[in-house]
Amino acid sequence: MTSHNHFDKFLILIKVRLEAMHKDCIYLDNNATTKVDPAVVEAMLPYFSDYYGNPSSMHTFGGQVGKAVRLAQQQVAALLGADESEIIFTSGGTEGDNAAIRAALLAQPEKRHIITTQVEHPAVLNLCQQLETQGYSVTYLSVNRQGQLDLNELEASLTGNTALVTIMYANNETGTVFPIEQIGLRVKESGALFHVDAVQAVGKIPMNMKTSTIDMLTLSGHKIHAPKGIGALYVRRGVRFRPMIIGGGQQRGRRAGTENVAGVVALGKAAELELLHLEEATARERRLRDRLEQTLITTIPDCEVNGDPTQRLPNTTNIGFKYIEGEAILLHLNKHNICASSGSACSSGSLEPSHVLRAMGLPYTILHGSIRFSLCRYTTEAEIDAVLAVMPSIVERLRALSPFKSDNAGWLQQQEKAVLGVGR
């Protein structure tokens, strides 16, 4: 047999194993990304090979593609309760956040102050830190043990020099939902612009931009069952917007570059489906989430829910299991083909805990042993049963190996002081 035949057999074997893994996978990491809805795939496929014209072309072949782009704008606008002219397509949440923040600052060059929170996504936090090196002043609002903001701290931070307040709608790790409209009212009184990163909230919380205080809002397709690499930015009509990407006149000159038509069509279809299923899906996800959460905290000792128990996304639970590492839990879950994520944002060679959980002031034992389960409309009762069947034994096994079995351990007390003393 030739080496070529051996290689072909190897590829077939890998494909079979991957298909088996995919078939058996229990995916509870939907705040990281979601499965693309089959109806979304069906909608976008013709725009790769059948309708491949440039949407800006004058001829009919390109014009029909342009109509598809406009339809997608209408679909996204409907999900947000906005007008289609207020929708700009982007490559995703990170670009949307960057474009909104930079546009707000360019529109008000005389103002040099930004307000955000300690628990934002890196797309916002890292940009704000970079802007500090360019002479901007940034206030990072603190959160309490439940991950909620103190609106008095926000009010005290607003000045005549504040150009922008940029705050997420819902936290990606804990699911805690901020009182966005209450925040917006205070921001409007100050004369600053208000940007909201709603990547985790869109499709889970009903929105109506027509009555909202939000000036700009970011969303990402791959969090609502559309592909990766496509997103949208809502910009309220009348808000001065200076584009971040300069080039042609696409999207009314607000975002240059030929549109990712297949991605745009996919996002439009996904938005249509999210709006269609929103009420039913969120109720079902909340019920499954609550069952998972309540069973875990009643059957496994020394664990607690992180975040606001009432003001949070319906699909998200973040649970801290004391005295063990979240990464170890994930490895054991992975052996059962269960996908979740850790509350610790660990990099290679480091066990630095999540900046979100640190900002909440959680104990060291909770910081490192936190796991996020995030559901979607495809999550089933059987999948929740499977997680509940294995989690108690995983935690028990890991705790039996752990040297940290008491909050009174001197080493733990030292670590807790060290961790909570950094970046506070």
Which residues fall within 8 angstroms of residue 418, CB to CB, at 6 or more apart? Answer: none
Q: How far apart are CA 59 and CA 43, in angstroms?
A: 22
Q: How far apart are CA 19 and CA 392, in angstroms?
A: 28
| Residue 369: strand, helix, or coil | coil
What's the first-to-final CA gap in the chain, in angstroms? 64
Length of the chain: 424
Catalytic residue from among 25, 303, 346, 376: 346
Neighbours of 84 (CB within 10 A): 14
Residue 339 annotated as catalytic: no
* CA angle, residues 131, 132, 133, in degrees to nearest 5: 90
What single string gives the DSSP state of each residue in 195-227?
EEE-TTTBTTB---TTS---SEEEEEGGGTTS-
Q: How far apart are CA 142 and CA 154, in angstroms?
A: 9
Of the candidates 133, 187, 142, the one whose C-alpha atom is nearest the C-alpha of residue 165 is 187
Helix, strand, coil % in the chain, rounded to nearest 5: 45, 15, 40
**Cα-flanking dihedrals φ and ψ of residue 379, to 5°?**
-65, 135
| Residue 169: strand, helix, or coil | coil
Cα Rg for the chain, rounded, in angstroms? Answer: 23
Q: How far is CA 250 from CA 38, 57, 88, 362, 406, in A?
A: 29, 11, 10, 47, 60
- Token pair 């949307």 is at which residue? 96
| Residue 246: strand, helix, or coil | coil
What single string gives the DSSP state of each residue in 31-100?
TT--PPPHHHHHHHTHHHHTS-S-TT-SSHHHHHHHHHHHHHHHHHHHHHT--GGGEEEESSHHHHHHHH
Residues noted as catalytic = 346
